[in-house]
Each structure stands twice: as C-alpha cells, then as structure tokens.
Amino acid sequence: MPRTQLQEKYFAPAKTENIKITPPAWQHPVYTEQQMNAIKVAHRETKTWSDWIAILMVRQLRWGMDIATGYSHPNDEARKQGSYLGLAKIRSWFGRSPMTERKWLMRFLFLESVAGVPGMVAGSVRHLHSLRRLRRDNGWIETLLEEAYNERMHLLTFMKMAEPGRFMKLMIIGAQGVYYNAFFISYLMSARTCHRFVGYLEEEAVLTYTLAIADIDAGKLPQWQKLEAPEIAVKYWNMPEGRRTMRDLLLYIRADEAKHREVNHTLGNLEQKVDPNPFVSEYEDPSRPHPSKGIENIKPTGWDRKEVI
C-alpha cells in the first residue's frame, strides 16, 4: 500500500472548525547528536532472585517475539545472547534469512506495541494506590505515564511507514491481552521485579535498534539510506534540518529506549512506597551529576539508591 494511503488510513486529520492542532501532552526533551551517538548496549548484572526472575521472563518474551516477527540477526552479538540450553546460540550460527526493511519494521511495530504497556499499567496501579492510601505518590505516576506515551509515539511513527498484516495484528492483540493482565497482577505482587523486568526489556530494545543502525551503516538496508522521517517524528523530537533521515530517527528512538532502561533500573533500586522519583526531583547540589528527564547524565544500569536518595 502506498505510503500516502497509509497516512490517510491511520492519521486522517479530524474535521474541526475551531481546533487547529493538538500538541503533545509531554514535550520531548532535546537530545544532541553527541548524546545520541554515545548510547551503548549495556547490561545490568543480576544480583537478587528478583533480578533472575525478571531476566528469565525477558528471555522468554524475547524468544516469542523473535518467532512472531521473523527476527534473525546472525552476528557475533546475537551469538553472545545464546540461552543456557544453547538453542539460541546454535540457531544463530546457521544461515537464516537476512533482515530486510520490512522485517525490521514488523519487529519495531510489535516491540513498541508491547513496550507501551508497562508504564501505563504501573502508572494506573500507583494512581489507585495513592487514592486508596490517601498519600502522595512522590512523582512516579507522571514519569511512568510519560514513558507509555513515548512508546506509543514510537508506534505511531512506524505506522506511518508500514501496515502490519492480519497475522501481525492478531499477534499484537493477543500479546497485549496477555501482557497487560499479567503485568498488572505482577505489579501488585512485586513492583520492584516489574521495574527490573522493564529495565532488562529496554536493554533488548537498545540492542535491537543498535543492530538496525549498524545494518544501515553497512549498506544492508538500501531503501533506508535516504528515507526521510515522517512528519509526526520531526515534530515530536524537534528533529533539526539535515538530521531527519531514517538513521537519525532510529538514533532518537534508541536514546528513548536507553532512557527507559535507566529509569526502570533506577526505580527498581528504590523503596517502592516511600522514595521520591529522582527523575523529577530537585537536588541540594544541582552541580553534581544526578538523574534528569534528558540523557545528559544517563546511567545505563540505573542509579543506586544511595546515589540519589
């Protein structure tokens, strides 16, 4: 289907007499090119049983997502991701079909449709906790909802470039139905484990976008060499002139995922019921490095509680 038809189908402008435009609920922080290029793949070592449960769940989800999206990237990085049973490592050595622009987009669509769930669930649960306990939330709700909003903007951006088939749509519906309810129950049982789970999930997202960027640089995705980012992306990320290619778009999205990685690993280190959200707090000594909404002081494996509280 032509790209213009996709835009009309999914983003037809509303016919309103008085409203001209609806700006984003959350303005995106400004990222510099240097900051985005500095984003690296990282992994937080498991230290507790909670961490082990979280990472095992991520590996299971990653396995299912790879099958659903036809993902195959047989390089050294993929071989290092082999499971303890050795199955993933064995598969990565054989000549699977290469990743194409279409396959990457399908993976991005599936990934972002799932990634937008945890922040909304966690934010709503904490909202209800605040109402029921008659206590302030100390700033967690806003950050969690903003994360969900950001992930949805990723999805809407990719929807400008590809329409998923019926099978993919069915997979998304099924995954969301299971994932939302499972995460809701899990968050009630152990919010700390859930934040660690999301932190590990975002590690995988950063890896995915890093590999896609590397494929563009290697000339393996010729259709994306000069492809311009959709207008919705240009406005949301305030992409400057001359920096609006598909590669630039993936740099912005990878930086967002790296930020979510930092946020959730940090929240997983805190006392869930009493600690304030360090990403929206004011500090006694603002000259010292501390968490913020941007990526100027980003810490891939999260901030320890003693560093921020």
Residue set of the binding site for Fe cation? 112, 151, 154, 202, 257, 260
How many residues can be counted in the chain? 309
Q: Which of 148, 144, 157 is nearest to 239 (CA)?
A: 157
The amino acid present at 43, given as its one-letter code, is H
* Spatial CA neighbour of 201 closest among 269, 123, 114: 114
Q: By the 8 A CB rule, do 236 and 24 touch?
A: yes
The gap from C-alpha 206 to its chain's centroid, in whole angstroms, comes to: 8
